[in-house]
Amino acid sequence: MERNPYVILGVPFGSPKSVANAAFARKAQALKRDGGSLDQMTDLTWALQRVSVAIREPATAMELYRIPADPEAFQADGDGVLRPPPERLPPVDGDRASALEGLRQGAAREYLRYLVSVRATRVTLPPP
Amino acid sequence: MTSELWCRACGAQAQRSDAWCSLCGVALDRPDPGAARVGQVISVKGKLLRRNGIALHEAGGTVLVLLKGDETVDMPAAEFDAAKPVEVPGPPVGGAAGRLWKALRAYQVSQLDGKWNPQQLLDAALVHAVASNGTRRAAALDALTLGAPDLLPALGLTAPELAWYQARAAAGAGDTATMLGWLEQLPAQGYALRVPMLLVLSGDLLRDAALGARAAALLAPFASADADARALHAALARPGTVDVTGPLVPFAVAAESADGQLAQWAGAIAAAERPARPFPNGLPVTAAFDSFLRFRADMPYTSTVDTLRWLPLPLLDEMIDGGTVPPALAGQPGWPERTAAYVRSRLDPGGASLADLTAAGFTAELARRHYLSQDVTALDALAADHEAVRHYRALAAWRTGTGRPGLDGLRPEAALVLSQVAEARAAVAAGQDAALTETIAADPTCWPLLWQGALQGALRLPGPLAGRYPRFAEWLALCGIQRLLFQSRWDDAAGAGRALADRTRTEVTSDEALNMVAFAEFQLGKPATALQTLDEALGGRYTTGLLVNASVVAASQGSVAAIPYLAKINAETQDPAVRAGAVERAVDLWRQDDSSPEYPPELRALVRAALGQRQADELHKTLVLVASGQDREWLAGDGAVRSVNPAQAAWVKYQRAWARRKTDGSQEGLVDIANVLVELTKSPSAPDWVAQELRQFTKNLDELVHVDFGDTSAVVLTPAIEALVAGDVLELTYRIVLAVQAATHTAFFMAEENGCVTPEYEQRMLFAAVRVYQQRKDELPESDRDYVADQVAMCVGVTGFAVRVGVINLWDDATQRFNKLVERMSYASDYVQQERIMRQKGDILNRELDPLPKRLRAYLALLAQLPLDDRARETQRQITDTVTEMEAEIARLRPSVR
């Protein structure tokens, strides 16, 4: 039988020390209340020591069975209040009619300059 | 339009009937070229030679031709016309004065032959130039053509008229800035022909705003009466200062091409309507205008940054809000710098950078980003009175679980969800069951907040909701299976997990359920079944965690079963630390696995692959050692091993040397190892292991070399010993003992082969070692002193014995050759041959025989200083006898040679 410190503590694989400590306290209290055995307490202490000290980098720990194997399984996809979608930036205030007229004027000037360049090809220098 | 008749003196328009300007009184004459023959050059026949003559004047059918100096001749016009004309180099001119000036210039620079008095030409040119207003004007134009504005003042024309001619000359040369300079000297209201002149050069004026502004000022007085002037003025004026739509259509008509399209486009812009045909290319603002009109008309439009960048923000906002601008454009370059951040924030708020969000003042999205990245400091730095900041701060407390999360500051929709979560959690905390609501079921982001309750089995999801939200139901089921595992209820967990895996349509849920089933089976003592379950989960998409679990279960059946899973982790995972962890685990498993003595091929491949990648020092060392021991041929050959620092490189070099030595199966390779050790020991950054390896290597050599002299297994060690001695890396005891041992074995071997060690070798290995011993014996550890003394004495004795044998061999060989020469001498018939034989005998005696007793005497000298045993003393006596005999023989032979 595999002795798995995370399973003994009742926390997901890779849980941080703080979570392990809280779980240990909860379990130890329950053992005391329910009259648990010394072996159970020893197991619990061993598990806390392993999680708190021995396993420095859970991601690289290859000797331990992982529950969950995929943390995503417990983190459902999708947006919600705790994973909100991007905010929307409201548009700037502005007079759209004036803006359109400004755009028309810009287009008129640009087009007029275009016409000047067309006309210039058909004009010659005046006689002296 | 400008009348053709106008005053060149003041620029005023004139009536067709006028001969004089009504404003300034100057004659309205057009430029007059004057007498047609004047200034022409002809070839004139002289007494001996032909010479060039030039016409100075003509009148009454006679032409006055200047021949030489001041010499002239009157020539009938018909004769002049019949004479051979001479071409005058230079630009084309039109008037009499112009031709004289042109000829004079060519003559002065030797481009035209002649022997004229230049003053004659100048005087005649002036006379013709000022003959009338028309000739003055023609002369002015010619002077400018010839690039001689210095001639202009003498013509008596007005300053504006001269400025006009110079403006035109500059325009003809394409010099727009100079042209503007002369035009600016004209009367503001005069010279209306400036308009077409400016139009011709409008390309420069449109490109260069400064030139354009100067031209606009010159055009302004004519804009009201001349359509070209009005259009050009509007086109060149600063935007917003002149009406540009008014002249648009009339000017388009004037510039119109055959298809009439120009006017249609002008009309569309004037009326703010879409044109029937797209606007011409190369007009980005017009294209933006067209795009917007099309957007408003629900028509397809050009949505590129190059076009949309010209839209005023209110219009671009309208299009963005209309959902027709692709968010992908946000990341493309080309947006104006002043609006780029805003546009990116509007178009793709999730993709905009923090810098963009800050520049756009987009506090709400900044707050969201800081919330998601859990950057509390940055979130706290935002304005506290902003609604979004308050919301995300409140939300952060829920997410991190720190403090007591509340509802203050939350947006209403979030407050609704989280208040129901709070109620459920409160019920669980009170030891009650909590009925879950649809609001919670619909928001997967808040489920983890209820994980503890789910783990306790205190959450109840009403049946209808379970049907509508199957994903939530599955999540609760996963938590339930986890609870069973944590309670060590393996059978229940396996059953529940299998049931969930069978009914779910979500692979991630199925895989996790099977993962927990496998753990339960493993705990129940069924590793094969557990591995089968995990292999089932590994079908399709899978995680590294699943592979790790498979390797854990497989390892219970031996390392060979586990290694493939670890190899897969190494091959498929991006994180180098995880990859390294997998390799390390595989190596550890195999090393601890007594049931698998053979090096598994998959581990071989894994180690080889890992050695090709960057590894931490400790793992690198382990892997190289494994390869050196188990994969020698690969390491000894060209196996690619990556080293990221000198220490790693040194280790590879050393182990590669061992691998090669072991691959060869010969002791000769030891010298390579010795050389590597010497090199590494002497390196300024020698790793710690080098000293340890050197010590062990030396110790091994010492054990191997202490065999009976004559045992050839020791002889092959001597190159390695020589390398260590030469490198001076050995401890003193080994320095002396190994050297004398090596020398002795070699001398013994050579003597047995009827040879002898060279004097250089015995000096380097034996005599040098004895000198070191004699000079440094007090530095030897107390415990080693007797041992080293015995070794030195013994080796000197044995080497002396062996060298004596070798020397006798050499002696015998040399004396045989000497005796043959003596024999040949008796047959030598002439003096020359006798001389040659005498010389050869001398060479043998002096170069070969004479040094031999001296070599042996050196051994006697050494032995005399060492404590000798009986055997050594016997050797000493034998050497003495040999030396005595040899020296006596040499003395006997000496007289017979030169």
CA B557 vs. chain centroid, Å, equals: 49
- Closest C-alpha among B223, B217, B167, B227 to residue B197: B167
The mean pLDDT value for B533-542 works out to: 96
Which residues constitute the domain of residue B558? 543-663
What is the tens place of the pLDDT at every residue in B599-611? 999 999 999 999 9
What is the tens place of the pLDDT at every residue in A65-108? 999 999 999 887 788 999 999 999 999 888 999 999 999 999 99
d(CA B213, nearest CA chain A) in Å: 14
The mean pLDDT value for B294-311 works out to: 91
d(CA A85, nearest CA chain B) in Å: 8
- How many residues can be counted in chain A? 128
Using pLDDT thresholds of 50, 70 and 90, give the confidence band for residue B403: low
Q: What is the dihedral of CA B680, B681, B686, B687, to 10 degrees?
A: 90
Quick one: residue B220, left, alpha or beta (phi over 0 = left, psi -120 to 50 = alpha)?
Answer: alpha
In chain A, residues with a C-beta closer than 8 Å to the C-beta of B445 are 76, 78-83
Segment 332-371 of chain B within 8 Å of chain A by CB = 342, 345-346, 348-350, 360, 362, 364-365, 368, 371
State the CB neighbour count (10 A cutoff) for residue B571. 12
In DSSP terms, B41 is beta-bridged to B54, B86
B48 and B129 co-located in one domain: yes
Cβ distance B439 to B417 under 8 Å?
yes
Cβ distance A19 to A64 under 8 Å?
no
Backbone angles phi, psi at B301, to 5 degrees: -145, 170
Q: Please state the domain count of chain B.
A: 5
For testing the chain A interface, which of B245, B437, B472 should be mutated: the one with the most A CBs within 10 Å? B245
The size of the A-B interface in CB pairs under 8 A is 292
Q: In this predicted structure, what is the pLDDT of residue B828? A: 77
- CB–CB of A60 and B345 under 8 A? no
- How many residues can be counted in chain B? 898
Is A41 inside any structural domain? yes
Asked whether residue A14 carries a pLDDT value surpassing 80, the answer given is yes
| Most confidently predicted of B49-53, B313-317, B647-651 | B313-317
- A76 lies within 8 A of chain B by CB: yes
Rounded distance between C-alpha atoms, residue B345 and residue B341, angstroms:
6
Q: In this predicted structure, what is the pLDDT of residue B667? A: 56
Last residue of a domain, one of B267, B288, B321: B267
In chain B, residues with a C-beta closer than 8 Å to the C-beta of A27 are none
B304 and B388 co-located in one domain: no
Is A12 inside any structural domain? yes
State the CB neighbour count (10 A cutoff) for residue B45. 10
In chain A, residues with a C-beta closer than 8 Å to the C-beta of B486 are 7, 10
- A7 lies within 8 A of chain B by CB: yes
The mean pLDDT value for B54-66 works out to: 95
Q: In this predicted structure, what is the pLDDT of residue B1? A: 40
B261 and B302 co-located in one domain: no
- Closest C-alpha among B212, B289, B283, B246 to residue A114: B283
Q: What is the dihedral of CA A38, A41, A46, A49, to 10 degrees?
A: -140
Question: Identity (one letter) of the amino acid at B800?
Answer: G
B226 and B288 co-located in one domain: no
Is B712 inside any structural domain? no
| Closest Cβ–Cβ partner in B364, B395, B555 for A82 | B395
Q: Please state the domain count of chain A.
A: 1
Is A103 inside any structural domain? no
- Closest C-alpha among B306, B384, B314 to residue B342: B314
Q: In this predicted structure, what is the pLDDT of residue A75? A: 84
Q: In this predicted structure, what is the pLDDT of residue B663? A: 82
In chain A, residues with a C-beta closer than 8 Å to the C-beta of B577 are 57, 59-60
The mean pLDDT value for B143-153 works out to: 95
The mean pLDDT value for B326-350 works out to: 93
DSSP readout, B646-687? HHHHHHHHHHHHHHHHHHHTSGGGHHHHHHHHHHHHHSTT--
Is A81 inside any structural domain? no
- A124 lies within 8 A of chain B by CB: yes
Q: In this predicted structure, what is the pLDDT of residue B396? A: 92
Segment 692-721 of chain B within 8 Å of chain A by CB = none
The mean pLDDT value for B798-820 works out to: 92
Last residue of a domain, one of B359, B393, B425: B359
- CB–CB of B168 and A117 under 8 A? no
Cβ distance A11 to A31 under 8 Å?
no
Range from B452-456, B527-531, B751-755 carrying the lowest mean pLDDT: B751-755
**A68: cis peptide before it, omega within 30°?**
yes
List C-alpha distances in Å: B742 to A71, B713, B784, B794. 67, 11, 19, 13
The mean pLDDT value for B265-281 works out to: 91
B305 and B251 co-located in one domain: no
- B666-702 exposure pattern, b = at least 16 Cβ within 10 A, e = fewer: ebebbbbbbbbbbbbbeeeebbeebeebbeebbeebb
What is the tens place of the pLDDT at every residue in B11-39? 998 887 788 998 999 999 999 999 999 99
Asked whether residue B436 carries a pLDDT value surpassing 70, the answer given is yes
- B223 lies within 8 A of chain A by CB: no
Residue B244 DSSP one-character state: S
Q: In this predicted structure, what is the pLDDT of residue B412? A: 96
Segment 24-63 of chain A within 8 Å of chain B by CB = 57, 59-63
DSSP readout, B38-100? TT-EEEEE-SSSEEEEEEEEEETTEEEEEEEETEEEEEEHHHHHHSEEEPPPSS---SHHHHH
B234 and B337 co-located in one domain: no
Is B677 inside any structural domain? no
B401 and B324 co-located in one domain: no
d(CA A15, nearest CA chain B) in Å: 14
ipTM of the complex: 0.84
- B523 lies within 8 A of chain A by CB: yes
In chain A, residues with a C-beta closer than 8 Å to the C-beta of B245 are 104-105, 108
In chain A, residues with a C-beta closer than 8 Å to the C-beta of B257 are 118
| Closest Cβ–Cβ partner in B228, B269, B314 for A94 | B314
B48 and B138 co-located in one domain: yes
For testing the chain A interface, which of B6, B133, B251 should be mutated: the one with the most A CBs within 10 Å? B251
- CB–CB of A116 and B199 under 8 A? yes
In chain B, residues with a C-beta closer than 8 Å to the C-beta of A2 are 519, 522-523, 552
B119 and B258 co-located in one domain: yes
d(CA A57, nearest CA chain B) in Å: 9
- CB–CB of B141 and A128 under 8 A? yes
What is the tens place of the pLDDT at every residue in B777-792? 999 999 999 999 999 9
B639 and B583 co-located in one domain: yes
Rounded distance between C-alpha atoms, residue B641 and residue B655, angstroms:
11
Asked whether residue B829 carries a pLDDT value surpassing 50, the answer given is yes
Rounded distance between C-alpha atoms, residue B248 and residue B264, angstroms:
11
Would you state the structure tokens that stand for residue B879, as one six-digit string? 């050497």
Q: In this predicted structure, what is the pLDDT of residue B2? A: 44
Is A111 inside any structural domain? no
B126 and B167 co-located in one domain: yes
Asked whether residue B457 carries a pLDDT value surpassing 70, the answer given is yes
Which residues constitute the domain of residue A40? 5-74
Q: To the nearest whole number, what is the mean pLDDT of chain B? A: 93
The mean pLDDT value for B277-298 works out to: 93
Asked whether residue B3 carries a pLDDT value surpassing 50, the answer given is no
The mean pLDDT value for B540-548 works out to: 95
- B407 lies within 8 A of chain A by CB: no
- CB–CB of B365 and A118 under 8 A? no
- CB–CB of B286 and A107 under 8 A? yes
The H-or-E segment that residue A36 falls in is none
Is B797 inside any structural domain? yes
Q: Which is it for the CA torsion B570, B575, B576, B580, positive or negative?
A: negative
Nearest CA in chain B to A58: B578
Nearest CA in chain A to B229: A116
Nearest CA in chain B to A10: B486
Q: In this predicted structure, what is the pLDDT of residue B534? A: 98
Using pLDDT thresholds of 50, 70 and 90, give the confidence band for residue B276: confident
In chain A, residues with a C-beta closer than 8 Å to the C-beta of B280 are 114
- A74 lies within 8 A of chain B by CB: yes
Rounded distance between C-alpha atoms, residue B695 and residue B731, angstroms:
9
In DSSP terms, B459 is beta-bridged to B434
State the CB neighbour count (10 A cutoff) for residue B71. 13
| Closest Cβ–Cβ partner in A92, A103, A115 for B251 | A115
What is the tens place of the pLDDT at every residue in A18-49? 999 999 999 999 999 988 889 999 999 999 99
- A114 lies within 8 A of chain B by CB: yes
Q: In this predicted structure, what is the pLDDT of residue B59? A: 92
- Between B43 and A1, residue with greater pLDDT: B43
Percentage of chain B lying above the pLDDT 70 cut = 99
In DSSP terms, B42 is beta-bridged to B53, B85
What is the tens place of the pLDDT at every residue in B614-656? 999 999 999 999 999 999 999 988 889 999 998 899 899 899 9
Nearest CA in chain B to A102: B312
B263 and B287 co-located in one domain: no
State the CB neighbour count (10 A cutoff) for residue B512. 31
Is B105 inside any structural domain? yes
Nearest CA in chain A to B245: A108
For testing the chain A interface, which of B232, B366, B400, B419 should be mutated: the one with the most A CBs within 10 Å? B232
Segment 718-747 of chain B within 8 Å of chain A by CB = none
